[in-house]
Every structure is written in C-alpha cells, then in structure tokens.
A and B are shown apart, each in its own frame.
Chain A
Amino acid sequence: MTASLKGSRRSGSNGDLILKTVVGAAAIGIVALLIGLGIELTSGSWLSIKTFGLGFITGSTWNSVTDTYNVFPAVIGTLTASALALLLGLPIGLGVAIFLSERAKGMRAGASALGSLVELLAAVPSVIYGFWGLAVLAPFMRDYIEPTLKTYLGFTQLFNATPIGTDLLTAGVILAIMIIPTISAVSRDILNAVPDSQREAMYSLGATDWEVVRKAVLPYARSGIFGATILGLGRAVGETMAVTFVIGNNINLPKSLLSPGATLTTLIVNQFGNTFDPLSEAALVEVGLVLFLLALVINILARVLVWRMTRSTRFRV
C-alpha cells in the first residue's frame, strides 16, 4: 500500500513533466496552426490581393469570363443569412434552454429526453439539412411564408420580390434550425450552473417565475449565454452545404431577403472544382482569407463584449 503510494507519487512527478510538455506543445501547436493558416491564406491569395486590392471586398462582380473577382455580394449574403439565423434561432434556442433548466426541473426524465433530442439536431449532417431544405423547406417558404410576407411587408424593400423559395430568407431559416441545438445546449448548462440561492432569494421576495428568470437567472448567466450565441453565430457564418442547397447561389447583389444570394462559403464550394488559372484560384483562397478575418473580428468583438458585460455584472449581482 505504502509502496504503491510512493510509486505513484514518484511517477506523478514524471507525469507532471510529461503533462507540462504535452499541454504546452498542444497550446503552442494551436497558435502555430492559426498563424500558419493566416500566412498560407495570405500567400495563396497574394496574386488576387495584388490584382484587386480593396476592390475585392467592395466590388460586386464575380465573373470567370472577364477574370474579375469581387466578393461584396457574398459578404453581404454571409452577414444577412447569419443575422437572420441569430434573430430566429436565439429566442428559440434560449427558450428551450430556459424551459429545460427552469420549468422542466420537476420532470427530470422528460427534460433529459427533450434535451438529448435537441442535441441530436446538432448531430444531423448539414448535407441532410440541405437536402431537406431544398425538398421540403424551400417549397413551404415559397408557397406559404413568403407570399404572406410579401403581402403584408412588401412595401419595405426587404420583402418585395417574387417568392421563389431558394433565397436569403430560407438560408437564414435553415441556419436558425442548425444553430438552435448549439445555443440551447450551451445555454442550458450555463443556466443549470446558476446557483439556486439566486432563485431562492428572488422567490423569497415574492417574485413570479418570469421575474426570477428575467431578473436573477438571465443576468447571472448573461456572459455565458452570449458565448453560446457567438458559438451559434460561428456555426452560421461557416456553414456551407446546407446553405448551398437553399440560398439560390446568385452572385449578383441581392435586392431583398427574397432574392437568391450567395455566401463566402457557398462561393468556395461552388467554384473550387472548376478553377484552374492562377488568378481565380488565388481569388478563391482570398475568399477563405476574408472568411477567416470575418471569424476573427466576430470573435474579438465577442470577447470585448463579454469582458465588458462581466465587469458590469459583477457590480450588479
């Protein structure tokens, strides 16, 4: 017993060294990978950067015939579809999380079944979402949702187009469905981690369920929920296959939410196979670079926001 304890302690010090080396290497490796990716994307797209300069981001033409490659419509498409996804997906995802952590507490089996069902949505491959989106969702949007939107909101430019089903709005809807499990699963864990003393304190003051959720639970979990949202946004920005099926893949600047559009990722998946001249290939790598920078900016903004929120929360709660 004593011997084995000694032995384990001795190997424990060896283990410390191994642990230090392994985790240190892993951490450095990730940083190196990120930097290497940035360098590779920049050098791969150098020809395109040199040729188009800033016009690559601000121009609206993507045309192999004239060898002009600009991505403004795709940037707009990516931002619009992701924003729509958050707008639709966040309330639902958060709602599911609140239900699971606050309302379903008394029925543990039911809650865990519902929870795993929601998480299963995340395990469905995106190409399946895409196929379903094209076969089921797009016709549904075209026949029911979009004509209604056009009738009542057509006076705004946003919904003033012939409903076709494969457009930015449908892409936003399918992305919303895809990010709900991410948002709800992470938010549920965050909400479960809110100490019961928070809730009990509110109840003891005579607060209703709604007031408890709004004033005690959500503010406490705010930064975590924000993190969950950013995870969802990250998935929406990077999602490719499902979007390719339903967005309509038109590389002109979209005129409304009911117009077919394109995102940065769909541009790459649609065009990569058939490019083989140095300029168009460099342009596609630069699309990757823009996507990389976009993700970086979103992450940095998120960090800053979380940091500011946690500072202010510390004073409030």
Chain B
Amino acid sequence: MNLNKTGTSGTTIGLVVVLVMVVVGAGAYIALNPNSGPTTVTQTSTATSTIATTATNTISTTATTTATSSGLGAATLTGGGSTLVYPIMQDWINTYAFVQPNIQITYNAIGSGKGISGITTGLFNYGGSDAPLTAAQYALLPSGSNLLTIPVSDSGIIPAYNLPGITAHLNFTGNVLAEIFYGSITMWNDHHIAALQSASVAAQLPAHAIQVYHRSDGSGTMYGFTQYLSDSNSTWKTQVGFSTGTIAWPVGVGCLHNAGVAQCIAGNSYSLGPLEIAYEIANPGQINFGAVQNHFGNYIVANFTNISEALAAGVKNGLPTTYTQWSSYSVIQATFNDSGKYIYPVSTFTYALVYQDLSASYASTSQAQAVAVVNFLSWVVTSGQATGPNSPTTTLGYPPLPSAAVTLDAQLLATVTYNGTPVLS
C-alpha cells in the first residue's frame, strides 16, 4: 500500500465526513423539527397569571404565588417516564428555572413503564406515567410505601384521517371506531359510517378501503384510545383489550411516536389513525379529524375546553384513595359514562408519581429535594396550567387541568411529609 496515498485520501475522507456530518446534522434538525424554530424560554410571571379558561375551569395561581415567592434552597431533581408529557414537562422545567433559580430538574422521557420502575427503584425523585399503576406494578413497590398518583396534564385523542375531497369533520361513535380498528368495517363508504354523517357528507364517502394506522410503541395515547374502544365495544374488550404495552392490533400499520402517526396519516390517502390532540393544537389545520359522539349523544370536535370539561366530569367523584381503586381506575371510563352535553369522550390524564413519605430510605430523596419536588409539582398543577397565546399549554397542545383536579392535586401534595412533617407548610 502506498503510504502517501493513504495519508492524503485519509485526510480528504476525514474532511468530507466532517462536512457531511455537519450538513446532515443541520438538515436533520430542520427536517425533524418542522414546527419549532430555536427554543425560546418564556418566563411566565407568576404574579399576574390568573387565567380563566371557561366559566367552569378557572385556574387560580394565588396558592403558588405564596408557595414559591420565597426562594428555595439548592436542589437537583431527577424525574422520568412518560413521553406524552415530555414536551410540556421540558417547558415547565425551563420556566421553573426562572421561578426558582436554585433548583435544577432533569426529566428523562423513557416511557411510562420506565417512569414507574424508576420511582420503584428510587432512581427518580418523581415519575411520569400515562396510566395509574396496575395491581402487579403496585405489588413491586417497597413495602410500607405509599405512592401518590397526581394528574399533571390532560390529553385528548382524535380520530385523524386523510380523505381526499372531504374537509368536514366526519362523525364517529366509539362502536364504529372499534369495528374499524377490529377490521369488521373495512370500507370508507360502509353504511355504518355513512349512517352517522349528514346526507351530503355521506354521499362523498369514497368506495375505498380504510388504511388503518396506530402507534407502534406502547404509549399512554394508545392506552387511552384502546380503553375507550373497550368501553364502547364488547368484542374489542374481550378480544383485544387495552394496555400501555403492546396491543395486538387486529389490523393496521404501526408508526413510531405521535409524530410518526401524524406523518403516516398525512402521507397516505384514505388513512385513519388515533392521534394525540397535542399535534392538532400545535399544528392547527394540518390534519383532518373527526368528531366523536359522547354519552349524551352529541358529536364533539375535540378542543381545549371540552377535554378539560370531560376530565372535570371524570374527577367529580374525586380520585381513588387506595391502590386497589387506582389499579382499576380509568378517567376514560369515568368520562365515558358521564352525560355532560359537551364533553369530549376520549380524554385522559397523564400523572406524576411521588412518594408520600419522602424521608423513607426507598425514596432516596433529601429534605431539600423533597421541598423542591413538592413545590415544583404544586407549581406545575397551578401556574403550569396557564392558558393564553404564548403559554406552553397552547403552543404545545396540552389542555389545562380542570379546576377540580387542581384542587385534588393540591390536597394530595399537602399530604407529602418529610420526617413526619408536611413538606408544604
């Protein structure tokens, strides 16, 4: 081998590699973040953010203002789990860094299951999960521990589709959606679908097979959606069921993450798939989606207000108080049977998990960390829910918690202790 030749070509290759890596990296960044420019951190002023969403959902931040007005001691927190909550969690963390400059928080978006295992093993100071723990998961918690399940954000799931020529919101019922995802209804112009539409829309339905898409990864979004299908249709309930893990989808193609499903639907005509509403709120008008019939009988086009209202109905009897109740609790089911006129029926919570006794050895939390985590979560469920043109709930597409849930959360967080003394005083 000619040494000289190797030397020069090696340098050339090296240079080209570096160049291409830079170009590809920049290109990928732009391509993978179509809607976000450089991240800007907006400091929310806690003093002025009392925000009214609707008459029924007024979020008051007075409690937080007093709780966080005094500077907290330095602490570093680690949380992790749910990927659904990650975009807004990251925004909350960035904003909270202005509110409490001494507190540093890291959130690892590694999936709800890993959030639960992280809190079980004491790896995280708080976990994020899209579903309450199952009985089997509760059984793995350290003995004598009490884990609190705290709703921190809302999510709605919409039936998104790509039907050339149809821009109206198609009407769906849970039963028809279940039959489509089960593979019993295969055509867009099936009379079961047509019967739900106005005459003019029904006439437009194409004689084309429905291309079904869903998430390929286990997710809180699919957990909520499949639970809704289970509530709506007994065949789905007995033959498929619901889970945050793998669902044995009878038909359809799996796409990775919410953005993947959005892309699969946008890129394929005659497609239909369940999409987390965050995508539609953050990219309004980019994708068509249907209205879903609620228990009252109205067809509801999902939005901020009716998702919050649905969840307010879901917690009107309070949150579960025991592990047994939690493991069989589903806010979807609670809203499913509610006869509120304007609630959107496919709405669900995402939760933070935190131990009630943070001084216990299994919690692996120092006193400063305990103060920090409880204050942070209190801030999240109050100031973090603020709505408005530049608020993270609006720009990232997370409907705010209903005021009933905020009250319940505050009660739960008030029970957290360190060495027997309440952390929030």
Contacts and interface: CB of A to CB of B under 8 A. Distances in A.
B253 A274 contact: no
B217 to A, nearest CB: 4
B254 A250 contact: yes
Contact of A271 (B116, B240, B245): B245
A63 B246 CA distance: 6
Contact of A131 (B32, B111, B216): B32
Nearest to B271: A164
A251 B137 CA distance: 25
8 contacts: A63-B248, A64-B245, A124-B24, A162-B209, A165-B268, A245-B256, A250-B253, A276-B113
Nearest to B252: A250
B261 to A, nearest CB: 11
Interface string B54-69: 0000000000000000
Given A65-B242, A162-B209, A128 B217 contact: no
B211 A164 contact: yes
B295 interface: no
A266 B216 contact: yes
Contacts of B134: 277
Interface string A52-65: 00000000011111
Interface string B386-414: 00000000000000000000000000000
A273 B110 contact: yes
A272 B111 contact: yes
A270 B218 CA distance: 7
A85 to B, nearest CB: 20
Contacts of A245: 256, 260
Nearest to B222: A274
B389 to A, nearest CB: 31
Contact of B219 (A128, A138, A274, A275): A274
B218 A64 contact: yes
B114 interface: yes
Contact of B245 (A127, A139, A274): A274
Contacts of B20: 120, 123-124
Interface residues of B, number: 51
Interface of A: 61-66, 112, 116, 119-120, 123-125, 127-128, 131, 134-135, 138-139, 142, 162, 164-166, 244-245, 248-252, 260, 266, 269-278, 280
A298 B248 CA distance: 30
A271 B21 contact: no
A174 B59 CA distance: 50
Given A131-B31, A135-B267, A277-B136, A123 B217 contact: no
B42 interface: no
A272 B264 CA distance: 22
B28 A131 contact: yes
A275 to B, nearest CB: 5
A274 B244 contact: yes
Nearest to B113: A276
B254 to A, nearest CB: 3
A276 B114 contact: yes
A252 B248 CA distance: 8
Contacts of A270: 216-218, 246, 254, 256
B254 A64 contact: no
B130 to A, nearest CB: 9
**Of listed B32, B134, B248, residue having the most chain A CB within 10 A:** B248
Nearest to A279: B136
A249 B253 contact: yes
A273 B31 CA distance: 25
Nearest to A63: B248
Nearest to B20: A120
B207 to A, nearest CB: 14
Interface in B247-290: 247-250, 252-256, 260, 263-264, 267-268
B16 interface: yes
Contacts of A274: 111-114, 217-219, 244-245
Contact of A64 (B28, B211, B243): B243
A244 B256 contact: yes
B113 A273 contact: yes
Given A64-B218, A134-B260, A128 B245 contact: no
A258 B263 CA distance: 20
B263 A135 contact: yes
B83 interface: yes
B13 interface: yes
Interface string B120-164: 100000000000001011001000000000000000000000000
Given A63-B246, A128-B28, A120 B219 contact: no
Nearest to A113: B12
A273 B114 contact: yes
A120 B16 contact: yes
Nearest to A128: B28
B218 A248 contact: no
A116 B13 contact: yes
Contacts of B242: 65
B117 interface: yes
A310 B33 CA distance: 51
Contacts of A252: 248, 250
A272 B20 CA distance: 32
Contacts of A280: 245-246
A169 B110 CA distance: 30
**Of listed B216, B219, B244, residue having the most chain A CB within 10 A:** B216
Nearest to A69: B246
B254 A260 contact: yes
A271 B240 CA distance: 17
A82 B266 CA distance: 29
Minimum-distance CB pairs A-B, first 8: A273-B111, A274-B218, A249-B254, A64-B245, A249-B216, A65-B241, A276-B113, A64-B243
Nearest to B241: A65
A116 B12 contact: yes
A37 to B, nearest CB: 21
Contacts of B111: 272-274
A142 B270 CA distance: 13
B217 A250 contact: no
A257 to B, nearest CB: 15
Contacts of B16: 116, 120
A231 B21 CA distance: 23
Contacts of A269: 217
Given A64-B218, A274-B218, A260 B114 contact: no
A276 B137 contact: yes
Given A120-B20, A245-B256, A245-B260, A63 B247 contact: yes
A155 to B, nearest CB: 21
